[in-house]
Amino acid sequence: MSVPARAYLSIGEVLTKLRGDFPDITISKIRFLESEGLIEPQRTPSGYRKFTSNDLDRLRYVLLAQRDQYLPLKVIKENLDALDRGLVPTPQGTAVPRPTLGLATIDGEIAPSTFGEQSEMRLSREELVNASGLSDGQLVELESFGLITLRGRHYDADALSVAKAVSEMASFGIEARHLRSFKTAADREIGLIEQVITPYTRQKSSESKARAEEVQKEIAALSVRLHASLVRSGLNRPR
């Protein structure tokens, strides 16, 4: 899909939008912040800067942090990096994961939209351990069983969700080795879903791709509902 011709701003237009709140802002200042790596506007074939709304938001953040918090550029750059990874900078100069949103539900059941959500959160190993309450040894064990995996060079929001759940279950004496069956069951459910959507993914049209995504989310939600119902039924059976 082509990007609209005016989906970006020139440096002059950015200057105009910022001057209401920051009267002293200049084009030289914007170029300086770019040279420091705080913003990275795209360029036209002719070399002119193309600023997106995200670039504008980052500039506002930088200027507010300088004006109101007197933060040096080094700290501001670290804060921007944390924000890019889905973390929240703190006044102490550290960064913590944003609270994850609860699962979307419909009439008390997990909604298919839950399985279409993607997080930009990127955590280091230390950040994952600190945020989840796991020990490094527990994390090593979870990774050995495939319950948590690196995404590139970082851990994502799903890894944090798993880590938190395991950490809380550990308080009941449940260890990572007890949870391997969860991973096995999840892999089987994933395999079943992939089997169902394969006829759609083999087709090259955008409509087929969209249909595959919708079917995948629908079956995933039904799978979780079935699992919860079976566990509930088993726990409530007469003894």
Q: What is the CATH number of the domain that holds 27?
A: 1.10.1660.10
Q: Name the pLDDT band for 95 (thresholds 50, 70, 90).
A: low
Judge whether 200 lies within some domain. Answer: yes
Write the DSSP assignment of 187-198 as a string of letters: HHHHHHHHHHHH
Looking at the structure, tell me whether residues 70 and 110 fall in a common domain: no
- Looking at the chain, the whole-number percentage of residues with pLDDT higher than 90 is 49
Looking at 84, 117, 142, the residue that finishes a domain is: 84
Looking at the structure, tell me whether residues 212 and 111 fall in a common domain: yes
Write the DSSP assignment of 86-149 as a string of letters: TEEE-TTS-EEEPPPPPPPEETTEE-GGGGG------B-HHHHHHHH---HHHHHHHHHTTSS-
Looking at the structure, tell me whether residues 145 and 232 fall in a common domain: yes
Count up the domains in the chain and report the number: 2
Looking at the structure, tell me whether residues 170 and 223 fall in a common domain: yes
Looking at the structure, tell me whether residues 77 and 111 fall in a common domain: no
pTM for the complete prediction? 0.65
pLDDT tens figures, 145-155: 999 999 888 99
| Helix (H/G/I), strand (E/B), else coil: 238 | coil
Other Cβ atoms within 10 Å of 213 Cβ, number? 16
Looking at the structure, tell me whether residues 17 and 125 fall in a common domain: no
Judge whether 35 lies within some domain. Answer: yes
Judge whether 159 lies within some domain. Answer: yes
| Pair of tokens at residue 217 | 């989310």
* CATH code, 142: 1.10.1660
Looking at the structure, tell me whether residues 28 and 138 fall in a common domain: no
Looking at the structure, tell me whether residues 156 and 225 fall in a common domain: yes
Judge whether 1 lies within some domain. Answer: no
Angle at 151 (CA atoms; ends 148, 154), nearest 5 degrees: 95
Looking at the structure, tell me whether residues 50 and 161 fall in a common domain: no
Q: What's the pLDDT score for residue 2? A: 46
Task: Give the mean model confidence (pLDDT) for residues 149-172.
Answer: 91
Looking at 20, 54, 84, the residue that finishes a domain is: 84
Q: What's the pLDDT score for residue 1? A: 43
Judge whether 149 lies within some domain. Answer: yes
Q: What's the pLDDT score for residue 92? A: 57
Judge whether 100 lies within some domain. Answer: no
Looking at the structure, tell me whether residues 138 and 226 fall in a common domain: yes
Angle at 16 (CA atoms; ends 15, 18), nearest 5 degrees: 65
Query: Residue 184's domain spans which residues?
Result: 105-236
* HSE of 95, CA atoms in CB hemisphere, 13 A: 23
Looking at the structure, tell me whether residues 64 and 132 fall in a common domain: no
Angle at 43 (CA atoms; ends 38, 47), nearest 5 degrees: 120
Looking at the structure, tell me whether residues 61 and 133 fall in a common domain: no
Give the range among 11-20, 51-60, 75-84 with minimum mean pLDDT. 75-84
Other Cβ atoms within 10 Å of 110 Cβ, number? 18
Cα–Cα distance measured from residue 172 to residue 178, given in angstroms and rounded to the nearest whole number: 12
Residue 138 has pLDDT above 50, yes or no: yes
Give the phi and the psi of residue 70 in degrees, each rounded to 5: 55, 35
| Pair of tokens at residue 107 | 């009439």
pLDDT tens figures, 103-126: 555 555 666 766 766 677 888 999
Judge whether 96 lies within some domain. Answer: no
Dihedral sign for Cα 149, 159, 138, 188, please: negative
Cα–Cα distance measured from residue 37 to residue 73, given in angstroms and rounded to the nearest whole number: 10
Cα–Cα distance measured from residue 36 to residue 13, given in angstroms and rounded to the nearest whole number: 21
